[in-house]
Structure 1
Amino acid sequence: MKQIAFAFILLVASTAANGGECPAAPDHSADVLDVISQIQQAESEQAARVLSSRLWEYWADAPDESAQEVLDRGMTRLRAADLLGAIEDFDSLVAYCPFYAEGYNQRAFANYLRQDFEAALPDLDKAIELSPNHVAAISGRALTLLGLNRIEEARETLNAALELNPWLSERHLLAPGGPLEPAGQDI
């Protein structure tokens, strides 16, 4: 509880210092497109995985120090399976930085892990709206739609993610016998 109060104080102080608004997130769109291009040309899944980790460096680069601290703490809570604590942090981050895609993406991931797919989906949609090439949010949306048993939408969304990164581990979901196997392939 003390950490939550501290995070709130940090956000309030930062908000006051910034005139009440979160600064714009760093624009890494050109870098993201460059890495996606390299992933598409990768010759192995391992090479693509190394490149994908670079994408996370861009996506997790928060707009300011206060936002970074809340994002990092929320992600630490996620790794520790403190999903409700992580959601509280991401709620604070989204409230402070409503134009920063990763706040929505991480909150969606926490809700996905809780199997609250209905709560995850709007956050994934917002993350993708803010960051259209956010491969993780797009593939997360596909998994969330699968969790909601919206199979055709999940298949289409996963195919969109695979256009950006053909090496995603989720690609096996489209394989024969997989839950997103294309219609008519099971005969």
Structure 2
Amino acid sequence: MDSLDELFARLRVATTPTEIEALQEGIWQIWLATGHPLLDKHLEAGMRALAAEEYTLAITEFTALTDASPEYAEGWNKRATAYFLRGEYKASITDIRETLRLEPRHFGALSGWATILRTIGDNRAALQVLQRLEKLCPAWPGLQSQLRNLQDLLDE
């Protein structure tokens, strides 16, 4: 199996949506591996709650995960997602920042952060976040048009 660094190196030069998707999937598989059965239980329960739109329960499960394993970046990212879906952008951004402190290449966290920033109207910050994503994968589907649209908005 490829290491995370190898997958990110390949993602940086990937050009087709199929190739990018396959590399993302490989990265997610590594990120979702907690390495401990109890942590797996919290992660799985939280993901089920997210899928069922039970955001409070999801946040409870992901908080148990981050409390038990504060160095596990994906626990923070999943909780950030639950906060976002519940409309709690400030709490989501706090967890996104922790995710990125632990895993600066976390494209899911970067993408989510850019979405929040655009939602609250901070286009300049959203552009900066998307530029970080561009360094990870310039050919990310839809990214170049998002960058152009934000730049156009800022140039008006």
Give me the whole-angstrom Cα distance separating, in 2, the residues matched to 1:76 and 1:181: 38
Q: CA deviation at 1:170?
A: 5.3
Specify the alignment match of 1:3 in structure 2. none
Deviation readout 1:60-104 (Å, 9 max, x if unpaired): 111411011111111121122221111110111111111111111
Structure 2 unaligned regions, length at least 5: none
Residues in 1 aligned to 2:60 and 2:7: alpha-carbon distance in whole angstroms: 31
Q: TM-score, normalised by structure 2?
A: 0.89
Match of residue 70, structure 2, among 92, 98, 103: 98
Residue equivalent to 1:119: 91
Indicate the SS of the match to 2:151: coil
Check the 8 A contact 2:15/2:139 in 1, yes or no.
Answer: no
Aligned runs of 1:56-67 on 2, under 5 Å? 56-67=28-39
Aligned length: 154
Query: Higher helix proportion, which one?
Result: 2
* Matched residue, 1:160: 132
| Structure 1 gaps, min length 5 | 1-29
Q: Is the 8 A contact 2:13 2:137 kept in 1?
A: no
Closer/same/farther in 2, CA of residues 174 and 43 from structure 1, 3 Å limit: closer
Question: How far off its partner does 1:169 sit?
Answer: 4.0
TM-score by length of 1: 0.75
Q: Secondary structure at the match of 2:125?
A: helix
Distance in 1, Cα, partners of 2:15 & 2:147: 21
Contact 1:142 1:157 survives alignment (8 Å): yes
Over the aligned positions, Cα root-mean-square deviation in angstroms equals 1.9
Q: Answer with 1 or 2: which has the greater Rg.
A: 1
Q: Given that residues 73 and 99 in structure 2 are in contact (C-alpha distance below 8 angstroms), is that contact kept between their aligned partners in structure 1?
A: yes
